[in-house]
């Protein structure tokens, strides 16, 4: 796995252990292998979110802390990411926390065909200029009719364009804040 470190985080009254990259510059994708504040905020929300009985997809899961939180609650969750090591980290982190293996799909947003889900979640997904369009199309394909979509964003400049694209899909949005500029957007 390369140089890694173990992180300990508390979410929803429970402690989680995560294996992360010790130095994110060791990977070709500098966004992979680190626990980002938006992921921690989304995980906190998922600790209490009404997800029982729902089929959930975590898009761009990275270290997949929100998926681990949902799985610890017995929720049917699948994680996906385009990074080739994400599945390896997910499997290791699930085992570190005494959880059964969490289904993982290696998939990019542009060409993924993963089926429809009742709830689609993701954290810090809008760090590239073209991602609002690609992510909005991905969500349109994978959010079942009447599904909720929950996106945690640290305040990246692409968020405005993404919100407009989601409005064009006739999705209403509610918002809560975390950290100085972070937002959790819930689309219905």
CATH number at residue 15: 3.40.50.150
pLDDT in tens, 19-36: 999 876 655 666 789 999
**155 and 91 in contact (C-beta within 8 Å)?**
no
Domain range spanning residue 12? 4-187
Three-state secondary-structure class, residue 166: helix
For residues 178 and 182, what is the distance between their CA atoms, to the nearest angstrom? 5
User: pTM of the predicted model, to two decimals?
Assistant: 0.95
**107 and 84 in contact (C-beta within 8 Å)?**
no
In which band, very low, low, confident or very high, does the pLDDT at 1 lie, cut at 50, 70 and 90?
very low
Can you tell me the mean pLDDT for 81-87?
94
- Whether the pLDDT of residue 2 is over 80: the answer is no
For residues 99 and 135, what is the distance between their CA atoms, to the nearest angstrom? 29
- The token pair that represents 158 in the structure block: 């692409």
Can you tell me the mean pLDDT for 39-47?
98
pLDDT in tens, 134-149: 999 999 999 999 999 9
- Domain count of the fold of the chain: 1
* Minimum mean pLDDT range among 23-27, 50-54, 93-97: 23-27
Q: Is the dihedral of CA 162, 141, 42, 96 positive or negative?
A: negative
- The token pair that represents 145 in the structure block: 């009719």
Can you tell me the mean pLDDT for 120-141?
95
* E strand segments, 13-54: 14-21
pLDDT at 30: 66
Pick from 111, 46, 58: which is nearest to 89 by CA?
Answer: 58
């Amino acid at each position: 796995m390369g140089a890694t470190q173990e992180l300990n985080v508390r979410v929803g009254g429970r402690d989680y252990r995560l294996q992360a990259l010790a130095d994110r510059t060791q990977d070709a994708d500098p966004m992979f292998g680190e626990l980002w504040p938006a992921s921690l905020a989304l995980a906190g929300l998922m600790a209490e979110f009404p997800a029982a009985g729902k089929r959930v997809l975590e898009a761009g899961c990275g270290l997949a802390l929100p998926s681990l939180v949902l799985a610890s609650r017995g929720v049917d969750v699948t994680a996906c990411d385009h990074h080739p090591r994400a599945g390896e980290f997910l499997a290791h982190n699930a085992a570190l926390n005494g959880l059964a293996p969490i289904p993982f799909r290696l998939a990019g947003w542009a060409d993924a065909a993963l089926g429809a889900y009742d709830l689609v979640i993701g954290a810090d997904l809008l760090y590239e200029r073209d991602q609002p369009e690609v992510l909005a199309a991905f969500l349109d394909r994978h959010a079942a009719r009447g599904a909720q979509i929950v996106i945690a964003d640290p305040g990246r400049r692409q968020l405005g364009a993404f919100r407009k694209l989601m409005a064009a899909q006739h999705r209403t949005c509610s918002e809560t804040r975390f950290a100085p500029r972070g937002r959790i957007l819930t689309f219905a």
